[in-house]
């Protein structure tokens, strides 16, 4: 519906993302880094509801679930504002009255799972529909609005596995994965700020680029996912993918104890353990959601008996989920 604004609430699911690879290719003039990273969306998601709030006042946001920090700093409000600015005002332009947004936060925060950027992408999409302005921005301008709000936000407009390059603005959708591999996410209770991890990375890499082997692994996986890869074949590559993150060592320095947690999980689960983004979320691949759920019980028992150390403010978040594969019939 593009000719009139919606008056009923618009609901959007905002999925988490996982970096199966993350290569730092170099430092940019704008202070950001050029990346080569394969992202996959997960079934784990936040829920965003947006509705018109009348003509007076300003946009509002109410957050439930996990603590996402101060509301005024939330990317949802910034995304709605950026979408409004992109449409502009004047004759023939859709009206953009204030919106009331509600966010049910299920994705761990500051965890390397892209939750804030996903919420922002969902907010842009929902705001445009609420204003009856879904056609007001072409895909390129929508992508530019998303990139202005968060480096990971453009990926979430694709809705499927993708190769991410530049600082995140270059998104090449990939055919993806056949089947429904399980993922176990273990997020220690420490907030890790991405800029802090990159600062440590820059301090230890004079050329501001990472290990060339990670870049090769990332390129190889992107090629395979471009052709389509079975869940079984993806799990078989877990050992290579688990170490294909140039930020691993830097994240371990920012979050003391992270390497210890990773070692404990490797011993307990007897599987390779990777790091998503700048961390601190650790992940491991399984052929199915059921096996990831069984592993979640094992890890919870390990946390309870001290086999898996709890660092930061308490026990880790343990979430079994699946990769949203981009194929029809994927679980949500």
Domain boundary residue among 150, 173, 196?
173
Among all chains, which residue has been given the structure tokens 């947690």?
261
CATH at 74: 3.30.230.10
How many whole angstroms separate alpha carbon 128 and alpha carbon 53? 14
How many whole angstroms separate alpha carbon 113 and alpha carbon 237? 21
Tokens matching residue 162: 């993708």
Among all chains, which residue has been given the structure tokens 């090769």?
216
How many beta carbons lie within 10 A of that of residue 140, not counting itself? 8
Per-residue pLDDT of the chain (332 residues; tens, 9 = 90+): 344 566 789 999 999 999 999 999 888 777 778 899 999 999 999 999 999 987 768 999 999 998 888 888 899 999 999 999 999 877 788 889 999 999 999 999 888 999 999 999 999 999 999 999 988 899 899 999 999 998 889 999 988 999 999 888 889 999 889 999 999 999 999 988 888 999 899 888 755 566 688 999 999 999 999 998 999 999 999 999 999 999 999 999 999 899 999 999 999 999 999 999 999 999 999 999 999 999 999 999 999 999 999 998 899 999 999 998 754 333 33
pLDDT of residue 191: 82
94 falls within a domain:
yes
How many whole angstroms separate alpha carbon 321 and alpha carbon 289? 6
Please tell me whether residue 59 adopts helix, strand or coil conformation. coil
Domain boundary residue among 173, 191, 220?
173
3-state helix, strand, coil in the chain (%, to 5): 35, 25, 40
190 falls within a domain:
yes
Shared domain for 110 and 186, answered yes or no, is: no
186 falls within a domain:
yes
Shared domain for 159 and 263, answered yes or no, is: no
Shared domain for 310 and 195, answered yes or no, is: yes
pLDDT of residue 328: 39
Query: Domain count of the chain?
Result: 2
CATH at 211: 3.30.70.890
118 falls within a domain:
yes
Any idea what the Cα angle at residue 128 is, between residues 125 and 131, rounded to 5°?
145
How many whole angstroms separate alpha carbon 121 and alpha carbon 103? 13
Shared domain for 163 and 184, answered yes or no, is: no
pLDDT of residue 326: 58
280 upstream amide cis, omega within 30 of 0? yes
DSSP-derived secondary structure letter, 60: E
4 falls within a domain:
no
Domain boundary residue among 173, 200, 233?
173
Shared domain for 167 and 211, answered yes or no, is: no
Among all chains, which residue has been given the structure tokens 């300003």?
58
3 falls within a domain:
no
Shared domain for 226 and 155, answered yes or no, is: no
Give the bridge partners for 282, in sequence order: 186, 275
Q: Could you tell me the residue range of the domain that residue 188 belongs to?
A: 177-322
Shared domain for 100 and 206, answered yes or no, is: no
Shared domain for 169 and 199, answered yes or no, is: no
Shared domain for 134 and 117, answered yes or no, is: yes
Shared domain for 22 and 160, answered yes or no, is: yes
How many whole angstroms separate alpha carbon 321 and alpha carbon 43? 6
How many whole angstroms separate alpha carbon 50 and alpha carbon 285? 34
Shared domain for 299 and 218, answered yes or no, is: yes
2 falls within a domain:
no
pLDDT of residue 207: 56
How many whole angstroms separate alpha carbon 193 and alpha carbon 70? 16
Pairing of strands 33-52, 23-27: antiparallel
pLDDT of residue 29: 77
How many whole angstroms separate alpha carbon 135 and alpha carbon 27? 36
Return the active site residues: 17, 152
Shared domain for 53 and 166, answered yes or no, is: yes
331 falls within a domain:
no
């Amino acid at each position: 519906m593009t000719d009139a604004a919606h008056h009923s609430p618009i609901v959007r699911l905002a999925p988490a993302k996982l970096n199966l690879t993350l290569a730092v290719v170099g430092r940019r003039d704008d202070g950001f880094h050029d990346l080569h990273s394969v992202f996959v969306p997960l079934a784990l998601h936040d829920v965003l509801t947006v509705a018109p709030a009348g003509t007076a006042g300003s946009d509002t946001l109410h957050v439930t679930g996990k603590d996402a920090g101060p509301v005024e700093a939330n990317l949802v409000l910034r995304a709605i504002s950026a979408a409004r600015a992109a449409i502009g005002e004047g004759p023939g332009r859709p009206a953009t009255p204030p919106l009331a947004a509600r966010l049910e936060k299920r994705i761990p925060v500051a965890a390397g799972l892209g939750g804030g950027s996903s919420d922002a992408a969902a907010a842009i999409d929902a705001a445009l529909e609420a204003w009856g302005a879904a056609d007001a921005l072409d895909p390129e301008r929508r992508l530019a609005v998303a990139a202005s709000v968060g480096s990971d936000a453009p990926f979430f407009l694709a809705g499927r596995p993708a190769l991410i390059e530049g600082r995140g603005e270059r998104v090449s959708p990939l055919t993806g994965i056949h089947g429904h591999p399980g993922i176990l996410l273990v997020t220690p209770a420490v907030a890790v700020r991405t800029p802090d991890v990159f600062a440590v990375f820059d301090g230890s890499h004079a050329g501001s680029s990472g290990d060339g082997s990670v870049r090769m692994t990332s390129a190889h996986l992107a090629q395979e996912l471009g052709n389509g890869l079975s869940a079984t074949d993806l799990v078989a590559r877990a050992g290579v993918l688990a170490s294909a993150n140039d930020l691993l060592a830097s994240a371990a320095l920012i979050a003391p104890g992270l390497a210890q947690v990773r070692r404990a999980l490797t011993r307990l689960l007897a599987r390779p353990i990777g790091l998503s983004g700048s961390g601190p979320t650790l992940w491991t691949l399984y052929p199915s959601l059921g096996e990831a759920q069984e592993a979640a019980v094992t890890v919870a028992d390990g946390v309870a008996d001290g086999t898996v150390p709890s660092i930061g403010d308490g026990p880790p978040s343990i979430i079994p989920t699946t990769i949203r594969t981009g194929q029809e019939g994927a679980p949500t």
